[in-house]
């Protein structure tokens, strides 16, 4: 089972200056609860933005000598990251950012996507080619929270999409293990 998780504004923004465009603690808490105990596949920039990175995190980067925190392993491709994360036996979550979602979505069984019903300024977009709108919604709930940055109420729609026919992962010789 491979899942992706993320949050997107109504204008498609997911990131601003290396972090999120909003400050909604309840949405962040939802993310943390969902990925607890999972093996994660993370883009290098997203990894660098995180204060705490759990063990069994696979960081996608083209830099062979990238230095990482304990419990984290560099992988050269999203496919290698997914194979390595699956080999841990834990549930697998792809947590972004844009370029990693764009490469990983064909393999994902589920996409947990929080739609934040407000436009935000940003510099990282949810990839338009991910066809979540064509996938069945398995679960949905709605809450209104305060964005601590703007002080305004925002509606968050928590959606769980299921991809009907995810692509099988290619067979790989190289599976990375965390140390
Ligand atoms: N709203 C959300 O749910 C959410 C989730 C995650 C992130 N974000 C936000 O999104 C922004 C970061 O996203 P981003 O798209 O700019 O960066 P990113 O995907 O986190 O990281 C990009 C880096 O990952 C590596 N990479 C990506 N695809 C690769 C591939 N196919 N093969 C090998 N390496 C690959 C490259 O690293 P090297 O340069 O080292 O080669 C690339 O520079 C931040 O603002 C973050 O806060 C938001």
- What CATH number corresponds to the domain at position 29? 3.40.430.10
In a domain, residue 7? The reply is yes
Give the tokens for residue 138.
């398995």
Nearest CA to ligand 1 atom 47: 19
Position 176 pLDDT exceeds 80: no
Determine the straight-line distance between the first and last CA of the chain, rounded to whole angstroms: 23
Q: Is residue 169 part of a domain?
A: no
Question: Is 72 within the bounds of a domain?
Answer: yes
The number of domains in the chain is: 1
How many whole angstroms from 61 Cα to the centroid of ligand 1? 9
Could you tell me the pLDDT band of residue 172, with boundaries at 50, 70 and 90? confident
Ligand 1: lining residues by beta carbon, under 6 Å: 6-7, 14-15, 18-20, 43-46, 49, 60-63, 77-78, 95-100, 103, 124
175 domain residue, yes or no: no
The pTM score is: 0.96
Radius of gyration of the chain measured on its C-alpha atoms? 16
pLDDT at 30 over 80: yes
CA-to-CA distance for 132 and 67, rounded, in angstroms? 34
> Residue 71: inside a domain, yes or no?
yes
Alpha carbon nearest to ligand 1 atom 1, residue: 14
Check whether 158 has a pLDDT greater than 70. Answer: yes
Banded model confidence at residue 174, pLDDT cuts 50, 70, 90 = low
The answer to whether position 177 is within a domain reads: no
């Amino acid at each position: 089972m491979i899942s992706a998780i993320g949050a997107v504004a109504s204008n498609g923004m997911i990131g601003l200056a290396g972090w999120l465009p909003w400050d909604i603690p309840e949405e962040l808490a939802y993310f943390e609860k969902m990925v607890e105990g999972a093996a994660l596949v993370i883009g290098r920039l997203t990894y660098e933005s995180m204060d705490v990175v759990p063990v069994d995190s696979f960081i996608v980067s083209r830099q062979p000598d990238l230095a990482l925190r304990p419990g984290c392993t560099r992988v050269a491709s999203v496919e290698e990251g997914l194979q390595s994360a699956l080999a841990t036996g834990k549930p697998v979550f792809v947590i972004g950012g844009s370029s990693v979602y764009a490469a990983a979505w064909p393999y994902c069984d589920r996409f947990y996507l929080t739609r934040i019903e407000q436009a935000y300024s940003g510099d990282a977009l949810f990839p338009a080619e991910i066809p979540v709108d064509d996938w069945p919604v398995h679960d949905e709930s709605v809450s209104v929270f305060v964005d601590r940055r703007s002080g305004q109420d925002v509606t968050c729609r928590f959606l769980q999409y299921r991809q009907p026919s995810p692509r099988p992962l290619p067979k790989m010789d190289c599976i990375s293990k965390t140390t």
